[in-house]
A and B are shown apart, each in its own frame.
Chain A
Amino acid sequence: MKTIIYILQKEFIQVFRDKTMLPMIFFMPIIQLIVLVNAATFEMNSINLVVVDKDLSTSSRQLVNKFKGSEFYHLKESTFSLKDAEDQILHRKADAILHIHKGFEQDLITENNGKIQLLVNAINSTAAGLINAYTTMIISSYNNQVRAEMINMIQARPVKQIKVSTSFWYNPEMNYKTFMLPGILVILVTAIGMILTAINLVREKEMGTIEQINVTPIRKHHFLIGKLLPFWIIAIFELAFGLLIGKVLYQVPFVGSIPLLFLFASIYILVALGIGLLISTLANSQQQVMFIAFFFLIVFILMSGIFTPVESMPYWAQKVNVINPFSYFMKAIRMIMLKGSGFFDVLKEMLSLFVYAFIVLSLAVWRYRKVA
Chain B
Amino acid sequence: MIQKQNIIIVKNLVKKFGIFVANDHLNFEVREGEIFGFLGANGAGKTTAMRIICGLSLPTSGEIKVAGFDIYKEREKIKRNIGYMSQKFSLYPNLTIRENINFFGGIYGLSRTEIKTRTTNLLEKLQFTHAANKLIREIPLGWMQKLAFSIAILHKPKIAFLDEPTGGVDPITRRQFWEMIYEAAEQGITIFVTTHYMDEAEYCDRVSIMVDGRIEALDSPAKLKEKYAAESMNDVFLKLARIQLHESV
Q: Which residues of A contact B (CB under 8 A)?
A: 2-3, 5-7, 9-10, 13-14, 17-18, 207-209, 211-218, 370-372
Contacts of A6 in B (CB 8 A): 102-103, 106-107
Q: Which residues of B contact A (CB under 8 A)?
A: 51, 54-58, 75-77, 79-80, 82, 84, 86, 88-95, 99, 102-104, 106-109
- Give complex CA distance A370, B88 in Å: 17
- Give complex CA distance A9, B112 in Å: 14
Contacts of B84 in A (CB 8 A): 211-212, 215
Contacts of B79 in A (CB 8 A): 215-217
- Give complex CA distance A212, B103 in Å: 12
Contact A3 B56 (CB under 8 A): no
- Give complex CA distance A214, B58 in Å: 13
* Dominant secondary structure at the A interface: helix
Contact A211 B94 (CB under 8 A): no
Closest A residue to B84 by beta carbon equals A215
- Candidate in A7, A215, A370 with the most chain B CB atoms within 10 angstroms: A215
In the complex where A9-B103, A207-B93 touch, is A212 in contact with B86 (Cβ < 8 A)?
yes
Q: How far is the CB of B203 from chain A (nearest CB, A)?
A: 24
In the complex where A208-B90, A209-B92, A215-B84 touch, is A2 in contact with B56 (Cβ < 8 A)?
no
Contact B90 A212 (CB under 8 A): yes
B99's contact among A10, A208, A216, by CB below 8 Å, is which? Answer: A10
Closest A residue to B71 by beta carbon equals A371
- Give complex CA distance A3, B109 in Å: 7
A215's contact among B56, B93, B106, B109, by CB below 8 Å, is which? Answer: B56
- Give complex CA distance A207, B86 in Å: 12
A211's contact among B56, B75, B108, by CB below 8 Å, is which? Answer: B56
Q: How far is the CB of A6 from chain B (nearest CB, A)?
A: 3
Contacts of A5 in B (CB 8 A): 106
Q: How far is the CB of B106 from chain A (nearest CB, A)?
A: 3
Q: Please name 20 further chain A to chain B contacts, defined as beta carbons within 8 Å, in addition to the given A216-B107, A372-B57, sorted by A numbering.
A: A2-B106, A9-B102, A10-B95, A13-B99, A207-B90, A209-B92, A211-B84, A211-B90, A212-B84, A214-B56, A215-B54, A215-B82, A216-B108, A217-B76, A217-B77, A217-B79, A218-B107, A371-B57, A371-B58, A372-B58
In the complex where A3-B107, A211-B86, A371-B75 touch, is A18 in contact with B56 (Cβ < 8 A)?
no
Contacts of B86 in A (CB 8 A): 208, 211-212
B94's contact among A3, A9, A18, A208, by CB below 8 Å, is which? Answer: A18
Name 25 A/B residue pairs within 8 A (Cβ), A-sorted: A2-B106, A3-B106, A6-B102, A6-B103, A6-B107, A9-B103, A9-B106, A10-B95, A14-B92, A207-B90, A207-B92, A208-B90, A209-B90, A211-B84, A211-B88, A212-B90, A212-B104, A214-B56, A215-B55, A215-B56, A215-B84, A216-B107, A217-B80, A371-B56, A371-B58
Closest A residue to B90 by beta carbon equals A212
- Give complex CA distance A14, B86 in Å: 22
Contacts of B82 in A (CB 8 A): 215
- Give complex CA distance A10, B92 in Å: 10
Q: How far is the CB of B216 from chain A (nearest CB, A)?
A: 27
- Give complex CA distance A285, B86 in Å: 20
- Give complex CA distance A213, B93 in Å: 15
Contact B91 A209 (CB under 8 A): yes
